[in-house]
Chain A
Amino acid sequence: MGMDFSTLRTLISRYCVGEENWVDSRTVYISHKEPPPGTEAFIQQRFPDNRIVSSKYTFWNFIPKNMFEQFRRVANFYFLVIFLVQLIIDTPTSPITSGLPLFFVITVTAIKQGYEDWLRHKADNAVNKCPVHVVQDGKVTCKQSRKLRVGDVVFVTEDETFPCDLILLSSSRDDGTCFVTTASLDGESSHKTYYAVQDTKAYKTEEEVSSIHATIECEQPQSDLYKFVGRINIYMNNEPVARPLGSENLLLRGATLKNTEYIYAVAIYTGMETKMALNYQSKSQKRSAVEKSMNDYLVVYLCILISKAIINTALKYVWQADPNRDEPWHNERTEAERQRHILIRAFTDFLAFMVLFNYIIPVSMYVTVEMQKFLGSYFILWDDEMFDEELGERAVVNTSDLNEELGQVEYVFTDKTGTLTENNMEFIECCVDGHVYVPHAICNGQVMPGSDTIDMIDTSPGPDARDREELFFRAVCLCHTVQVKEEETVDGIKHGIHQGKSSSFYISSSPDEVALVEGMNRLGFTYLRQKDSHMEILNRDDKVERFEVLEVLSFDSVRRRMSVIVRCSTGEVYLFCKGADSSIFPRVISGKVDQVKARVEHNAVEGLRTLCVAYRCLSPEQYQEVCHLLSRAKLALQDRDRQLAEAYDLIEKDLILLGATAVEDRLQEKAADTIESLHKAGMKVWVLTGDKMETASATCYASKLFRRNTQILELTTKRTEEQSLHDVLFDLSRTVLRHYGGMTRETSSGLSDDYTDFGLIIDGATLTAVMRPGQEGSNSGNYKELFLDICRNCSAVLCCRMAPLQKAQIVKMIKTSKEHPITLAIGDGANDVSMIQEAHVGIGIMGKEGRQAVRNSDYAIPKFKHLKKMLLVHGHYYYIRVSELVQYFFYKNVVFIFPQFLYQFFCGFSQQPLYDTAYLTLYNISFTSLPILLYSLIEQHINADILKKDPSLYKDIAKNSLLKWSSFIYWTALGIYDAIVMFFGAYFLFDNTTFTSNGQLMTTNTQMMFGNWTFGTLVFTVLVFTVTFKLALDTHYWTWINHFVIWGSLLFFVVFSLLWGGIIWPFLNYQRMYYVFMQMLSSGPAWLSIILLITTCLLPDVVKKVICRALWPTTTERIQTKRRCLASEPSTIFMLSQTSSRMSF
């Protein structure tokens, strides 16, 4: 370790001078002590204090800021503009009609956000005011957390949470380590080890700690929890000593100190700059297909609205060209109005028409859709069947915006390990130089080679072989990052060690490692613990062997291997390396490669996870070089990761192969059933895994992703080595297309039953080649298209050897292909996060590899099997519900507004509203809002059990089928038809006839005339009843709630109308509605025409439904009919009579 640090330091500073004077780094002065003069310029940087501000508003800025944020939404802004226009110009409708709903929406949202912010304020205060122990002038003092500053030395005791991001200076443990759980950061409850700076770990009291004189240079805060580079300069006798700092020295805010009495640490990132705060950035918004359709419709309606207004304005001026029409003697303008310029008048008229028709885009739709999504998502939370007893977890909804997208999935991208499989590893066997060792064939540490399995077993392992065997076991025992936990209550991976202390567990973030170490335990070598940078192993002879751990070259998914460098008690230095076969074999120079390779392949075909183990003996000179390489890379502030990777690459070479291990990962329960259902539902399932091809394809067969009759197409490095990628791709596409052509013929002749489907296997390297952009100009684009073409015709695709980023790339490629299919990604580990975020819907599995996937997902479920219900039942329901909600909302507002448009032709285009203000305001808020909201929460067109039993029903709603333009046009046409029927029905009743009420019901025997408000009320009554009955006709699932809400809102309308017209309202300056409704009801023809018009409005929809069902039934409708025929329905008759009695209220 005799490194010359001063030379290194000069090297570094020379390296860094070119880097623009550390723009991206910060210097922290521990305990705010200036560095000794001459060494470095003292630049006091300003850092924020340790206040956490998660609240958005303060008491003072709440109203303006919240208003601003709310009106940034296009819809709200639109309504605000309408409202302002109403205030400014002389409008046909009172500003209240749009102001009240807007005010209501804004207020409710503001109250909700205000309450949430108040909670955040409370939480912030609790955090900011909690006491923190700080070392000041050699004494520990207590101050509030928010007053903590960068450079303060903090004293933390066991089970306390770190108040900010800290660099560990020293701990109560002799080796300068401390244990930490990061459960609240990433959900991993395992204990992680952090290391104190070597040169300060001896400072263990507050006096000693405050005597430390050092500065820390480190990068500016970034959000990656696992990355940190920095350097500490310790001034000893005014001579600076530089040490590297990495993420192993950095204690993160939010993590908790465990198993360690106390630590001293220095604050480097505080407040909002801590990694935890940076990590809570809002996630990117995903929008569902339904929402996109909704926005398209909105644009259409906006165009309709504007063209209506323009048409009416133009017609108005044509009509008004005759001055006697414009200003007849009985209806003159005011002087001020006359003098206004014609253009201004025309523009005001245009605005007035806009205002009159603006209800066609309803405020309440946004509120209703949002409420539906928010409330609806509770059904996922509440679902009993998605509760997992074993984990004690239920489904989690992180975004409710995507509920309906669950019913639209076309591609499912699933991770293998932990998602399809249990991620519950069991050690199966290991193979040393061709000898196979199976743990269950071992008795009391006596190793017996599994004799019956393989023919290549050397029956008499010589003494040399025995050495190699023990070296292998030691290698597996040493080359890992497993910790020994001495408590029982750990939530992570639990495995009791049978010997030794009975209450000990192996804990690791990788279950493979635990399985391996445990397997070694069963083979006679027990890993005991790591103490004072020594690993202790109990060997077969019950003797403790100690190895000094010199370096750990940790695992990463790019290298796909890890190494340790240890020094045995005899002084020899070994490098043990463990990793995927593909990353080990190229680096091996000797050993029985062929035998091991054969065994590895055999195991992989069985679906086992294999790892290869190799070693390298390091001479002292080689070791020096290794140290040099590593420390140089570790001290780098820029590009440290790249430099480390290069260093690792140089170190892990010239290996000698020892053997291989095999670990089994069982399939999750019902994984096969789930995959089969997804297939039947028309989804394409892709498995993306980092595993090797053979293992992965074995899993795919087991999970029925590939079936026996599936024709496998391989697109792997092995094949592309033989042929060029170009040829392979063309070959495959020819196969697929030929078959496809044949298949269509088959299906047309009705023989589609026994067609073979295709499965594609592709590996990471080939995929990179396929996706490589523009190397040969147009050719590369062809590759991608060709590849997509092949994929389109394959029901299952397996991508193996995938790096995490490649997973996201694949998802993106499919997502952006020309059909724009809806994708779903499901995974459990941190390596799936990128794909979960990329896909339209990301689902996290509450697996064993921490909570990162769950946290970054849109939905999380305990097990893979729950995906079936999630998609087939919940997704289906939500889609049906939301699409009806959207269509119905547009429909009911067309019906609402179109009569007003027609009325303009009969009132001289004067913007006279047809309905009274109260009706205009309350139509969307209360008369027609609840039935559709409740419908969209509880509608079930088919029973959940049937949906689950028959996945093909999912195809009925694929491709956003209920929101296609054709159905949108149908709904709009229906709306216009209804509007025309209502308006002209009323028109012919009023036109040139004596449509009167029979006053005999009233007090005098008279005939009374009806005016324009009665006309409007008649239309409105028909309108409310028609749209409510239309919804009633669409309802397939009548619970008491539906009955209550549907009949309730009609009753409410009647009661409200009676009240509204029953009193002279003192606060109104007009009494136009006085007794209008009652007078209307006292007229026989009014009743008759209301009944007639409602019937006429509903007739076409009923006929269309019935005829479509009879002549062109969808699968859904067939099942509904069938179920109906089977069920005996005494209850139906009862309900029928009930409803009919209610209908006549």
Chain B
Amino acid sequence: MMASSYNAKEEVDGHHPGSSNHGGTGPINSKKPDNTAFKQQRLPAWQPILTAGTVLPAFFVIGLIFIPIGIGLYVTSNNIKEFEIDYTGAEPNSPCYVCAQNFSWNSTTPCFCTVNFTLQQPFENNIYMYYGLSNFYQNHRRYVKSRDDKQLNGDSKALEEPSSDCEPYRKSGGAPVAPCGAIANSLFNDTLDLSYVETNGTSTPIELQKSGIAWWTDKHVKFKNPPGSNLSVAFQNTVKPVNWRRPVYELDPSNPDNNGFINEDLIVWMRTAALPTFRKLYRIIPKKSGAVSTLPSGSYSLRIAYNYPVLSFDGRKRMILSTISWMGGKNPFLGIAYITVGSICFFLGIVLLIINHKYGNRSSSAEIPN
């Protein structure tokens, strides 16, 4: 095709564009480049070089810092008490076997089962109660996507016409689902009740705190009920998700601040887990005043309203009790990792010291003659 690099400007002034002036003034020296540090590539600079000698101290310092941190973390993690119990009911001898086998979406009455367990050591301070699911792909793309944040934020338009992301949990029988989507639809709805069984056989229910388990910002900003003083009116044109037993405005009828979209169980569930095996915070057992342990050692019973089927996808359900520390829950990994990396650094430091001692002098003194 036609001359692509042809430049008619050249014809007019006869100069090559590359050689046009860059700030020159006089006609004679107009082409003389400016003698600035930047243009001459002579900017003042710090010119560090990584040699064995310079890196050595850093390695020792890292080693010396990381190992104590690691030990600290490990000890802290080990001091955290954690108790875990699987109540899936997959095995015939497990208490929830019957409930698990006879599960039906249509049954109106929940199936109850009770699991007894013993805490060997008392749990102090605030205790956190989690439910754990395995093999549950909350991070599946189709699942993660299937929600409508506008609807959950109380947007009345989205309430009536949920986002298409919610398909196939968007509408049910022509009416919009609230909350729509696969995530909300599969809300974990087992009810877990914990009671302390004293030696004489009487059981005392333990008070479980429902609030304060979700992110503050989620509860107060991201999730909002649709406008209207009466929730059931606000949701009147919507239907409950297919797999729910109760509509959204009856999630916690006793507490209006924990009902509807701002129900904390719902909010916690809506934060999709990163991995297929996960825990979610269920309840908090607050610290008792005085020197009494929150959960003294002894027998306990966990009463489960078994509403949530997991066997169909080989899932497991667990209940976890845990105390926490400044670094969160039990997590030996971080401590071990710190100790390992710290030791490696320290070891490398020694290796480098040897190398530096043996070769460092050679490479700096036995130079090229010129």
Considering only residues 718-770 of chain A, those with a C-beta below 8 Å from chain B are none
Q: What per-residue 1/0 map shows which CB atoms of A182-217 lie under 8 Å from chain B?
A: 011000000000000000000000000000000000
A1111 interfacial contact with B, CB 8 Å: yes
Question: In the complex, are the beta carbons of B275 and A938 less than 8 A apart?
Answer: no
Known A333-B142, A1084-B326: A281·B6 in contact at CB below 8 Å? yes
Known A394-B33, A1071-B153, A1099-B345: A1110·B363 in contact at CB below 8 Å? yes
8 Å CB contact of B41 from A325, A938, A1004: A938
Q: Roughly how many angstroms separate A1072 CA and B150 CA in the complex, as a whole number?
A: 11
Q: List 20 A-B contacts (CB under 8 A).
A: A92-B141, A184-B10, A283-B5, A333-B142, A381-B19, A383-B40, A384-B32, A906-B276, A992-B277, A998-B327, A1005-B126, A1006-B216, A1009-B271, A1009-B279, A1012-B275, A1072-B149, A1099-B344, A1099-B345, A1124-B49, A1124-B51
A-B contacts, CB under 8 A, total: 365
Q: Which residue of B lies closest to A1015 (CB)?
A: B274
Question: In the complex, are the beta carbons of A1110 and B359 less than 8 A apart?
Answer: yes
B52 to chain A, nearest CB (A): 5
B257 interfacial contact with A, CB 8 Å: no
B3 interfacial contact with A, CB 8 Å: yes
Q: Roughly how many angstroms separate A938 CA and B44 CA in the complex, as a whole number?
A: 11
Question: In the complex, are the beta carbons of B334 and A989 less than 8 A apart?
Answer: yes
B305 interfacial contact with A, CB 8 Å: no
Considering only residues 276-299 of chain A, those with a C-beta below 8 Å from chain B are 276-278, 280-283
Q: Which residue of A lies closest to B221 (CB)?
A: A1064
Q: Roughly how many angstroms separate A1085 CA and B77 CA in the complex, as a whole number?
A: 11
A residues whose Cβ falls under 8 Å from a Cβ of B: 52-54, 56, 92, 119-120, 123-124, 126-127, 161, 183-184, 254, 272, 276-278, 280-283, 324-325, 328-335, 378-379, 381-384, 387, 392-394, 396-398, 855, 877, 906-908, 910-912, 938, 940, 944, 950, 985, 987-999, 1002-1012, 1014-1016, 1033, 1036-1042, 1064, 1069-1072, 1074-1075, 1079, 1083-1085, 1088-1089, 1092, 1095-1096, 1099, 1102-1103, 1105-1107, 1109-1111, 1113, 1115, 1118-1122, 1124-1125, 1131-1132, 1135-1136, 1139
Question: In the complex, are the beta carbons of B140 and A907 less than 8 A apart?
Answer: yes
B residues whose Cβ falls under 8 Å from a Cβ of A: 2-12, 14, 16, 18-19, 22, 28-29, 31-35, 39-41, 43-52, 55, 62, 66, 69, 73, 126, 128, 130, 132, 136-144, 146-150, 153, 163, 165, 167-169, 182, 185-186, 212-218, 221-222, 243, 268, 271-281, 284, 309, 312-314, 320, 322, 324, 326-331, 333-334, 337-338, 341, 344-345, 348, 352, 355-356, 359-360, 363-364, 367-368, 370
Question: In the complex, are the beta carbons of B355 and A1107 less than 8 A apart?
Answer: yes
8 Å CB contact of A1003 from B28, B62, B144, B216: B216
* Chain B residues with CB under 8 A of A325: 137, 313
Question: In the complex, are the beta carbons of A994 and B272 less than 8 A apart?
Answer: no
Question: In the complex, are the beta carbons of B329 and A1007 less than 8 A apart?
Answer: yes
Question: In the complex, are the beta carbons of B326 and A998 less than 8 A apart?
Answer: yes
Question: In the complex, are the beta carbons of B345 and A908 less than 8 A apart?
Answer: no
Beyond A1009-B280, A1106-B355, A1107-B355, 11 extra complex contacts between A and B, CB < 8 Å? A54-B7, A56-B4, A126-B12, A280-B7, A1009-B268, A1012-B144, A1036-B47, A1085-B327, A1106-B51, A1111-B359, A1124-B51
Known A324-B312, A989-B334, A1074-B217: A994·B328 in contact at CB below 8 Å? yes
* Chain B residues with CB under 8 A of A1105: 50
B159 to chain A, nearest CB (A): 14
Question: In the complex, are the beta carbons of A387 and B150 less than 8 A apart?
Answer: no
A938 to chain B, nearest CB (A): 7
Question: In the complex, are the beta carbons of A1118 and B355 less than 8 A apart?
Answer: no
Q: Roughly how many angstroms separate A184 CA and B43 CA in the complex, as a whole number?
A: 38
Known A282-B3, A1074-B217: A1064·B35 in contact at CB below 8 Å? no
A45 to chain B, nearest CB (A): 21
8 Å CB contact of A908 from B6, B218, B276: B276
B318 to chain A, nearest CB (A): 10
B143 to chain A, nearest CB (A): 5
Q: Roughly how many angstroms separate A1015 CA and B139 CA in the complex, as a whole number?
A: 11
Question: In the complex, are the beta carbons of A1038 and B47 less than 8 A apart?
Answer: yes
* Chain B residues with CB under 8 A of A1109: 50-52, 363
Question: In the complex, are the beta carbons of B34 and A382 less than 8 A apart?
Answer: yes
Question: In the complex, are the beta carbons of A1115 and B41 less than 8 A apart?
Answer: no
* Chain A residues with CB under 8 A of B330: 993-994
Q: Which residue of B lies closest to A912 (CB)?
A: B141
8 Å CB contact of A328 from B31, B215, B312: B312
* Chain A residues with CB under 8 A of B279: 992-994, 1009
Question: In the complex, are the beta carbons of B276 and A911 less than 8 A apart?
Answer: no
Q: Roughly how many angstroms separate A155 CA and B334 CA in the complex, as a whole number?
A: 90
A741 to chain B, nearest CB (A): 27
* Chain B residues with CB under 8 A of A328: 137, 312-313
Q: Roughly how many angstroms separate A1122 CA and B279 CA in the complex, as a whole number?
A: 57
Question: In the complex, are the beta carbons of A1011 and B272 less than 8 A apart?
Answer: yes
Q: Which residue of B lies closest to A126 (CB)?
A: B12
Q: Roughly how many angstroms separate A833 CA and B221 CA in the complex, as a whole number?
A: 72
8 Å CB contact of B14 from A120, A183, A1119: A183
Q: Roughly how many angstroms separate A53 CA and B7 CA in the complex, as a whole number?
A: 9
